[in-house]
Amino acid sequence: MHHMKQEHPYKGDVGVPWLGSSTEGEWMLYMNQLYWGQGVRHINTWRRHRFTHQIDLFPDKLSDLQGAVLRVTTFMFEPFVLYHWSPDGSLLSRYGVDIAVAKAVAHALNFTIKFMEPPNGEAWGEKSVNGSWSGMVGQLTRDEVDIGVADVFVSILRADALDFSAPYTSETMRFLARMEPPLPRWQALAFPFHKWTWLAIFVGLIISGPLLYLFACCSGRCGDEMSSLQTLSYSCYYAFGVHFCEAHASLPRMASTQILVMFLWLYTMILTIAYSTNLRAFLIVRKPPAMMETIRDLHDSGLQVAGIGDFAKVGMASSSDPYLQGLTKVYKSYNTRNEIYPVVLEGKAVFLGSRHMLEFLVNNKYIIRGVPRLRLMQEYFAPYSIAMALQRHSPLKKKVDQVIGRIQQSGLVRHFFLDSVRQAAAYEVKDSDGEGDIDGDKEEVAVAEGVIALGLDHMQGLFLLTGTGWVVCGTF
C-alpha cells in the first residue's frame, strides 16, 4: 500500500469513512457530519498498523441529532396544519396534527425545525412532462428540505420521487357540497304524510261518499233511513265532514249505515290525530330538501368536481367504479381552496378533498345562525394513509418510523387532533360578512329554552290555504 494525498475533504453518504494520508505510512480517518454540520471531520489516525485511539467507527448518528437544524416544508391545510395570524398579518405560530407530530419527532430525535413553504402556493406539487416535480415533492427531490408534512397521502404516484415514513393516521376522500336551503314553510302542510299516503287518503275520501250513499239507499228500502243520506251530494258532504272530524246534527238510523259511519269515524279520528301530531314538528323545524348522497347521484347531477391539483383525478380514474371514472370528465383542478369555495357555495361544483379537512371546514367556517352552509356527502372512496414525506433513501426514515410508531401506539394523534380543534376555536375571529358562526335568532333561543311561539312564517301555509279557498269560492 502506497502513500496517497487527499486534497479535498469527502462529502459522501452517511457512515462511509474515507482514508486519506498526510505523511508516508500514516492514514487519516474522516467521517461525514451528516446533519450535525458541513463537510467531514477528522476522528482517528491509522499509524503503524493500528488506530492511535479507540473509537466507534460506526456510531449511531440519528438517535441524537444534537440540535441540528432540519428543514420542514409545510403549508396551511386545516386541520393538519393551521396558522395563527396576528392582527397585522404576521404569522405567530403553526399548529395542527402534522405540526404536532413533526415537533414530537424533533423532540425525540433532538433536532430543531426550520419551517419552510412550497413556492407560489404549489402545495404538494405536480409532475411535469420532463419528470421534474413542483411544490413539496420538488423541494424534497432538490434537497431543499429534509421533511414534508401537510396531510401527505401515501401514494405510489409519488413513491419514485420520495420516501414515506410509517403512517400515523388514515384518511378518505369525500365530496363537499352546498347545503341546500330548507323547503318553504308553506309546504309543511303536506309533510306529515308520504305522497302515497296522501294518495290513499284521497282515494278513501272519494269513495267514502258514494259508498255511504249506496248503503243509505239500500237501508232506505228496508227501513226508515234518513232521506238526506239517500242523495249522493249530501252523502259526499257528510263523508267529507267526517274526514275533518266535523260533527253532524243528524245521525244514520239503520244499523248497517251506523256501522259504516262508526268505522269511518274511527278511521278519520286516527288519521287526523296522526296528522296534527306530526304537523307540529314540521311547522317548527324546517325540512331540508332531498340531497344527493351517493357518487351515482353526483355523476347524474352533472356538477363540476373541484380539487387541488390532479391527484384526486388520478385516483378516480384508477377506480373500478364507472361513476367515479365518469367524474373525471367534469373534474377541474384549482391552485388554492379559496378559489373553490365560491363555486361550491353557488351550487355549481362539489369539492373533493380529505375527510378531516372537509369536516373541519364544515364545523368551523361558513356557518349562519348555527346552520352550516356546506355538508359532506355520505359516500366516499379511496382510503389513504397519512405519513411524513422524506427525501428518497433518507437516513432519517428508520428512526422517524420508530418515533411515529410510539406516537401512534400511545394515542397521541387523536390528542393532537382534538387539541388543534380547541386551539382553532380559541383563535377563530368572526368575519363581519357573516361567514362564521353568529348569535342565534330569537327562534333558536326559544328552542333552547324548550318553548317556541309559532309566528307568521310558521303558519304561512295556513293563510295560503285560506286565501286559496276564498279565491275558489269567488269563482262560483
At which of 243, 269, 286 does a domain end?
Answer: 286
Give the helix/strand (H/E) hosting 85.
strand 82-85
Cell of 115: 419551517
Q: What are phi and psi of 112, to 5 degrees?
A: -105, 140
| Cα angle 191, 196, 197; round to 5 | 65
Closest to 24 in 3D by CA, of 4, 41, 53 = 4
Taking a C-beta distance cutoff of 8 angstroms, is the pair 423, 95 a contact?
yes
9, 39, 61: which is the final residue of a domain? 61
Per-residue pLDDT of the chain (476 residues; tens, 9 = 90+): 333 333 333 334 434 444 455 556 788 888 887 887 777 888 888 887 888 888 777 888 888 888 899 999 999 888 889 998 888 888 889 999 999 999 999 999 999 999 999 988 788 988 888 889 999 999 999 999 999 999 999 988 888 899 999 999 988 888 998 887 766 666 677 777 778 888 888 888 888 888 888 877 877 666 676 777 777 887 888 888 887 777 666 777 777 777 777 888 888 888 888 877 777 777 666 666 667 888 898 998 889 999 888 888 888 888 888 998 999 999 998 888 888 988 998 889 999 988 888 888 887 777 776 677 888 888 888 788 899 999 999 999 999 999 999 999 998 998 998 888 888 878 775 433 444 443 444 444 444 445 566 666 656 655 666 666 666 655 65
The answer for residues whose C-beta is within 8 angstroms of residue 56's C-beta and 6 or more apart is: none
Do the Cβ atoms of 295 and 381 come closer than 8 Å?
yes
Question: Distance between CA atoms of 388 and 105, rounded to whole angstroms?
Answer: 10
- Hunting for cell 318553548 — which residue is that? 451
Cis ω on the peptide bond leading into residue 79 (within 30° of 0)? yes
In a domain, 461, yes or no: yes
Q: Give CA–CA dist 116/74, Å, rounded.
A: 6
Question: Does residue 233 sit within a domain?
Answer: yes
Q: Strand 371-372 and strand 349-354: pairing? A: unpaired
User: The whole model's pTM is what?
Assistant: 0.61
Q: Model confidence over 231-283: pLDDT tens digits?
A: 788 788 888 888 777 766 677 777 777 777 788 888 888 888 887 777 777 76
Q: Are 436 and 430 in contact (CB under 8 A)?
A: yes
Q: Tell me how far CA of residue 206 lies from CA of 115, 202, 231, in angstroms.
A: 76, 6, 15
Using only C-alpha atoms, the chain has a radius of gyration, in whole angstroms, of 37
Which pLDDT does position 205 carry in this prediction?
A: 82
Q: Is residue 259 part of a domain?
A: yes
Domain assignment of residue 158, yes or no: no
Calpha distance 151→312 (Å, rounded): 13
Q: β-pairing, 68-73 with 111-116?
A: parallel
Separation of alpha carbons 430 and 436, rounded Å? 6
- Categorise residue 34: left if φ over 0, alpha if ψ from -120 to 50, beta otherwise: left
CA distance 92 to 94: 7
Q: How far apart are CA 100 and CA 113, in angstroms?
A: 12
Domain that holds residue 465: 441-476
Nearest Cα to 333, choosing from 81, 124, 79, 98?
A: 124
From 231, 253, 286, give the residue that closes a domain: 286
Is there a domain that residue 217 lies in?
yes
Which SS3 state, helix, strand or coil, does residue 81 take? strand
CA atoms lying within 13 Å on the CB side of residue 23: 4
Q: Look at residue 41 and tell me if it is in a domain.
A: yes
CA distance 105 to 360: 25
In this structure, the dihedral spanned by the alpha carbons of residues 331, 333, 337 and 341, taken in order and rounded to 10 degrees, is -40
Residue 306 lies in a domain: no
Residue 421 lies in a domain: no
Q: What is the CATH number for 220? A: 1.10.287
What domain count does the chain have? 3
Report CA-CA distances (Å) from 446 to 159, 341, 449. 56, 32, 5
Contact between 225 and 233 under an 8 Å Cβ cutoff? The reply is no
Which residue reads 427525501 in cell numbers? 391
* In the block, residue with C-alpha cell 433536532: 111
